[in-house]
């Protein structure tokens, strides 16, 4: 099956992303709706406080001139302030609780999705981009709840309560204040459109930078060997400059937006003061307490949520962009179809390739109607020039990729009919480039499988004669391996991978160029281990060094995705065909390496 391109029409938009995030938040209904309730109570309490201030000025100070009454009003105002502090604490804590649960759920879902993607996806997608999706993009989503949507809902409730109280106190000043709304809506809408585009560009440049840095740090040895530090620095400088420009573009919009809001607020306050002064000359003057409440409290309480709503677009738009990217990965279909239902406890290990064709790139065939058979317990070697399709056979057998044409059978059953996990549980692969995690030797061998005891690991290591090597390391099986196994030689890493495969006792063992680059000192130990782990099981050995496969039951010779010869070592040499030419070519090269030329 071909890898389907990403569906452009299925791209997540802002409304869909927000809707899905709200659904995730509502999975914690008590906490989610508690946030809204607390936000509503906080809005009411904060909007009622200026009423008491107005009463204290107009009644307790100007009218009654009562100190006990003023003291009583101040006590109530203080209690309301205390209530606001408590409610604000609850609002922040509960919204963060919801946010952390949502992003925990998203992280788990995203990681679960990624570990089931087919190899073709990782071939095309830089690791740095996936790290950005899994870490920083998800982190930005959390702020939608902590400082975004829930807070915006609280701000809207605050505006509603403030408007209601303003009209209750004085409808004339309230009407003047509401003239701010249309202007603020227009300004905010323009700001929203500009900032979303800016944040999208910022996230793109962040992903590019992460990808660049991750790749260069992983390949730092290559950079230094070829003395490319200056070139890579120049490239990083250019990428970083693009990120800086994208970020400064967002800063520009905020720097422009807030002064405009302050000007609008100042104009509204000026009109209120002018109107109140004008009314003072009539019989229906507005009291000083009301004027102070409007100009110092209510106008700010009305504009501040509007400003905060606009300010939270920073958070919301950044979070939405992150959510769109994360949901796009979650909605993509890059998994190997796992529709098989057959599960077998054990298999014999018979393998049949029946007219199998495959290509990584369209119209560039790697395998062309390839057919061959391997009987259970048989040891077959596959040889051929680079690009002949040797490793592709292994990728297809494990269903890291699916065949384009033909069928692959194990014990007479098409591999697509096996449940995927069950299929791979019967096959162990030892790769040329062994990846070891930054953990102990023991953890790298067992992969955290608690069913495998320390004693079983040591017994298996003794069986393939590498226990002495492991025990010679500082700490033995508790030796801490550096990332990718950098603290160990290639031969040592290969021995660990042999033990890992042997311990899982697979029915089918694949050695993919497992001895091509090992050091001479480890070669004998690796060869003995290889002989031991290939006993009594179907073994497929992809070999570069032909001297290591002389004892194979069959040797299959590939050329440009087609089988050109099949037989054992002696038979193929006697044929005098493609294999003999490969063997003699390699043998002469090895002789030239081991016997230096005489120089006068």
* 477-501: burial string, b at 16+ Cβ within 10 Å, e else: bebebeeebeebebbbbbbbbbbbb
Of residues 4 and 413, the one with the higher pLDDT is 413
Tens digits of residue pLDDT in 447-488: 767 778 888 888 888 888 888 888 888 888 888 887 666 667
Quickly count: other Cβ atoms within 10 Å of residue 570's Cβ.
Answer: 9
What's residue 416's pLDDT?
A: 92
User: Which candidate, 79, 131, 128, places its Cα nearest to that of 107?
Assistant: 131
In the block, tokens 């090895």 appear at 590
pLDDT, residue 523, reads 64
Mean pLDDT within 213-234:
76
| For residues 405-418, average pLDDT | 92
Is the pTM higher than 0.75? no
In the chain, domain spans: 8-331, 351-594
Q: Which CATH number fits domain 351-594: 3.30.420.40, 3.20.20.450, 3.40.718.10, 3.40.50.300?
A: 3.40.50.300
Percentage of the chain beyond pLDDT 90 is 7
Q: Chain-wide mean pLDDT for the chain?
A: 78
pLDDT for residue 193: 74
Residue 5 has pLDDT above 70, yes or no: no
With CA atoms as reference, report the closest residue to 420 among 122, 117, 109, 124. Answer: 117
Nearest to 256 by CA among 267, 244, 248, 246: 248
Tracing tokens 């952390």 back to the chain, one arrives at 100
pLDDT, position 409: 94
Read off the pLDDT band of 353 (50, 70, 90): very high
Beta bridge partners of residue 159, listed in sequence order: none
Give the whole-angstrom CA distance, residue 496 versus residue 437: 12
SS3 354: strand
- Domain 8-331 class in CATH: mainly alpha
Highest mean pLDDT among 171-185, 200-214, 277-291, 568-582: 568-582
How high is the pLDDT of residue 498?
A: 81
Confidence band of 122 (pLDDT split at 50, 70, 90): confident
Q: Three-class SS string for 357-423?
A: EECCECCECCEEEEEEEECCCCEEEEEECCCCCHHHHHHHHCCCCCCCEEEEEECCEEHHHECHHHH
Predicted confidence band of residue 40 (pLDDT cuts 50, 70, 90): confident
Q: Which of 128-142, 155-169, 305-319, 341-355 has the lowest mean pLDDT?
A: 305-319
Residue 593 pLDDT level (bands cut at 50, 70, 90): very low
Euclidean distance between CA atoms 89 and 86, whole angstroms? 5
CB 210, CB 132: distance < 8 Å? yes
Cα–Cα dist 75/72, whole Å: 5
Which pLDDT score is estimated for 410?
93
């Amino acid at each position: 099956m071909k890898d389907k391109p990403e569906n452009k029409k299925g791209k997540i938009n802002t409304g869909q992303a927000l809707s899905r995030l709200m659904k995730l938040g509502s999975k914690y209904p008590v906490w989610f709706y508690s946030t809204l309730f607390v936000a509503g109570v906080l809005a009411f309490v904060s909007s009622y406080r200026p009423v008491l201030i107005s009463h204290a000025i107009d009644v307790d100070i100007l009218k009654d001139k009562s100190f006990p009454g003023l003291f009583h009003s101040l006590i109530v105002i203080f209690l309301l302030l205390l209530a606001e502090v408590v409610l604000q604490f609850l609002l922040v804590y509960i919204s963060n609780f919801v946010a952390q649960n949502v992003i925990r759920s998203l992280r788990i879902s995203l990681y679960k999705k990624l570990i089931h993607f087919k190899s073709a996806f990782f071939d095309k997608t830089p690791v740095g981009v996936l790290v950005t999706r899994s870490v920083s993009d998800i982190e930005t989503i959390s702020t939608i709840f902590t400082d975004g949507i829930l807070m915006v809902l609280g701000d809207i409730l605050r505006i509603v309560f403030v408007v209601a109280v303003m009209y209750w106190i004085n409808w004339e000043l309230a009407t003047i204040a509401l003239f701010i709304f249309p202007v603020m809506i227009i300004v905010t809408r323009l700001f929203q459109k500009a900032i979303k585009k800016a944040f999208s560009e910022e996230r793109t440049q962040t992903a590019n930078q992460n990808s660049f840095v991750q790749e260069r740090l992983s390949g730092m040895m290559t950079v230094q060997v070829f003395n490319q530090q200056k070139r890579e620095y120049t490239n990083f400088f250019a990428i970083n400059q693009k990120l800086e420009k994208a970020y400064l573009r967002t800063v520009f919009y905020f720097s422009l937006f807030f002064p405009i809001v302050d000007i609008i607020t100042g104009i509204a306050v000026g009109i209120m003061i002018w109107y109140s002064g004008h009314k003072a000359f009539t019989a229906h003057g507005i009291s000083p307490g009301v004027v102070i409440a409007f100009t110092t409290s209510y106008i700010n309480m009305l504009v501040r949520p509007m400003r905060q709503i606009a300010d939270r677009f920073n958070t919301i738009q950044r979070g939405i962009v992150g959510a769109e990217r994360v949901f796009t990965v979650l909605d993509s279909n890059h998994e190997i179809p796992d529709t098989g239902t057959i599960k077998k406890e054990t298999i014999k290990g018979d393998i049949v390739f029946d007219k199998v064709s495959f290509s990584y790139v369209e119209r560039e065939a790697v395998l062309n109607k390839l057919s061959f058979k391997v009987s259970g317990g048989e040891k077959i070697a596959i040889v051929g020039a680079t690009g002949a399709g040797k490793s592709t056979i292994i990728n297809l057998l494990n269903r890291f990729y699916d065949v384009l044409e033909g069928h692959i059978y194990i014990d007479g059953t098409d591999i697509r009919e096996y449940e995927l996990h069950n299929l791979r549980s019967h096959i162990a692969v030892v790769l040329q480039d062994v990846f070891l995690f930054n953990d102990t030797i023991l953890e790298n061998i067992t992969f955290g499988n608690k069913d495998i005891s320390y004693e079983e690991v040591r017994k298996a290591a003794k069986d393939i004669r590498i226990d002495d090597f492991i025990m010679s390391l500082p700490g033995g099986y508790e030796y801490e391996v550096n990332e990718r196994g950098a603290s160990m030689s290639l031969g040592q890493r290969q021995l660990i991978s042999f033990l890992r495969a042997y311990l899982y006792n697979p029915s089918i063992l694949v050695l993919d160029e497992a001895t091509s680059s090992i050091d001479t000192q480890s070669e004998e130990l690796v060869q003995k281990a290889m002989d031991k782990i290939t006993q009594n099981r179907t073994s497929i050995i992809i070999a570069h060094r032909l001297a290591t496969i002389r004892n194979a039951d069959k040797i299959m010779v590939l050329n440009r995705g087609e089988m050109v010869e099949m037989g054992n070592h002696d038979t193929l040499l006697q044929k005098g065909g493609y294999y003999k030419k490969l063997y003699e070519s390699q043998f002469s090269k090895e002789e030239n390496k081991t016997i230096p030329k005489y120089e006068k």
